[in-house]
Amino acid sequence: MAVYSRISVQDGATVPLRTVYTDTAGNFVSPTTPPVVYIYDADIDDSVFDAELEALTFTSAVAGPLTPTEVTTGFFELLYAVPSGGSAGLWRDIWVSTMETTQEADVLGFTVSNGTDISDQRLLDNELIVLELDSTITSYTGLTLGNDIQLSFITTLKPFYASPDLSRMEIGPWIDFIPDSTLALMIHWASKEADFIMAGCRSSATRVQFARAKFVTYDAVLRALYLPGAGSYQTGGSTSGGRSKRLGDLSISNNPGALIAQTASGIDTFTLEHIRKKRDEWWRVVNAGAEIMPGQSLGFEAALRGVYDPDRRTQGRQWADPACEFFAQPGVNTKRVPYGHRKAKFVFDTYRTSRIGT
């Protein structure tokens, strides 16, 4: 059913016209004489409208006087049916009432349209689509659904730097009970966090994409493990802390509860702490633009005075840039320009060694 308001109403449709009466303190009050309403269409000349409003003679009104309904103290509503073919534009409704001994005429308005808009309907990214099937839907043979059915699906999530399958492979059956849609939403939020902490790094670099995927995977898994029921296997529709199988004298059990301390969700604390540690390590790598390795600190290792400082010391031999050399060490008895510094004005040198004796 179409819903219209003062903002826009189609000609031939019904629009609710509402108004509120209050005193100077803001309290709802009922007028001494209930209001009546006069409707002017968009074709009325402004000079004619102003003259009739001044004289309180509404001879050019297309409708009125109309009596609104007082829904509650001071709150009135009038359901007005706009004539079919009515002029498009601003229509005005005048509410005439008496408050104590003073007659008032208040002007409000609403917009009438008599055209249609045509637009291309499409699904956008990051949208949740919900379909509701009514129980009364009947087939050609007379069969009905019997119950209301609700179906939902999501459109393409962006950014999305991992996949539900990758997350499930990382942690195994601990999160089997979580649907793909829920896991995909966790990956989406983890991906947005990765974009936020990368601080404008070039995301096209292979090392950045790899670090980002690792962080998102561990972050999504960690989020999933904190859901109620995480860390428990599903067996026969019920949740249990583990399963066992016996074949003759051979007995296999995957219940860690007897040997390892568990969290309230059932997963052992060692696994949970491992996932949290890996997530934090890759968080730092992504935050540094993949210029550091997992486990490496974000702090600087050496400092040098600026080039304009008179006490600046001569720069000695330094290790290669880890972004270019990937922690490669200089070779012995060689002079070479490290990769990425071919046009640099310096080379990395090593001391030549000599053997003493024969």
Average pLDDT of 93-97? 94
Query: Could you give the CA distance from residue 218 to residue 211 in angstroms, rounded to a whole number?
Result: 11
Q: Collect all residues with Cβ–Cβ distance below 8 Å to 275 and sequence separation of at least 6.
A: 171, 218, 221, 222, 225
Residue matched to tokens 């208040």: 106
Render the burial of 23-49: b for 16+ CB within 10 Å, e for the rest. eeeeeeebbeeebbbbbbbeebeeeeb
pLDDT confidence band for 311 (50 / 70 / 90):
confident
- The β-bridge partners of 235 are 238
- Which tokens belong to 243? 């399963």
Please tell us whether the domain made up of 9-113 is placed in CATH 2.60.40.1930: yes
Residue that has been written with the tokens 């966090």 in this structure: 193
Q: Measure CA 151 to chain center.
A: 21
Q: Classify the C-alpha dihedral 247-252-253-259 as positive or negative.
A: positive
| Amino acid at the residue 83 | P
Residue 289 pLDDT > 90: no
Q: What is the mean pLDDT of residues 233-237?
A: 44
Q: What is the pLDDT of residue 67?
A: 94
pTM over 0.85: no
| Per-residue confidence (pLDDT) for residue 100, from 0 to 100 | 84
In angstroms, the CA 189 to CA 164 distance is 13
- Tokens 């008496």 -> residue: 98
Using the 8-state DSSP alphabet, how is residue 220 labeled?
H
Residues in the chain: 358
Measured CA to CA, the distance from residue 282 to residue 200 in angstroms comes to 17
Cα–Cα dist 221/273, whole Å: 12
* Signed CA dihedral, 223, 224, 229, 233: sign only: negative
Average the pLDDT over 26-52 and give the result.
93
Q: Using one digit for the tens of pLDDT, what is the confidence trace for 127-136?
A: 888 888 888 8
Determine contact, residues 48/4, Cβ cutoff 8 Å.
no
Q: How many CB atoms lie within 10 A of CB 97?
A: 21
Q: Tens digits of per-residue pLDDT, 261-276?
A: 444 445 677 888 899 9
The pLDDT tens digits of the residues spanning 291-308 come to 888 877 766 666 667 777
Residue 267: predicted pLDDT: 66
For residue 350, the model assigns a pLDDT of 38
Q: Which of the given ranges, 212-216, 223-227, 252-256, 316-320, has the highest pLDDT on average?
A: 212-216
Whether 343 has a pLDDT exceeding 70, the answer reads: no
Is residue 161 over pLDDT 80?
A: yes
Model confidence at 159: pLDDT above 90? yes
Q: Are the C-beta atoms of 154 and 186 separated by less than 8 Å?
A: no
Mean per-residue pLDDT over the chain, rounded: 79
Task: State the pLDDT at residue 241.
Answer: 44
The predicted pLDDT at position 50 comes to 93
All CATH 2.60.40.1930 domain ranges of the chain, comma separated, are 9-113
CA atoms within a 13 Å half-sphere pointing along the CA-CB vector of 127: 8
- Please give the Cα distance from 51 to 40 (Å, whole number): 13
- Diameter of the chain by CA atoms? 126
Residue, of 164 and 116, whose pLDDT is higher: 164
* Spatial CA neighbour of 223 closest among 257, 263, 178: 178
Give the lowest-confidence range in 36-40, 94-98, 174-178: 174-178
The predicted structure's pLDDT at residue 354: 37
* Structure confidence at residue 238 as a pLDDT band (50, 70, 90): very low
Asked if residue 331 has pLDDT above 60, the reply is no
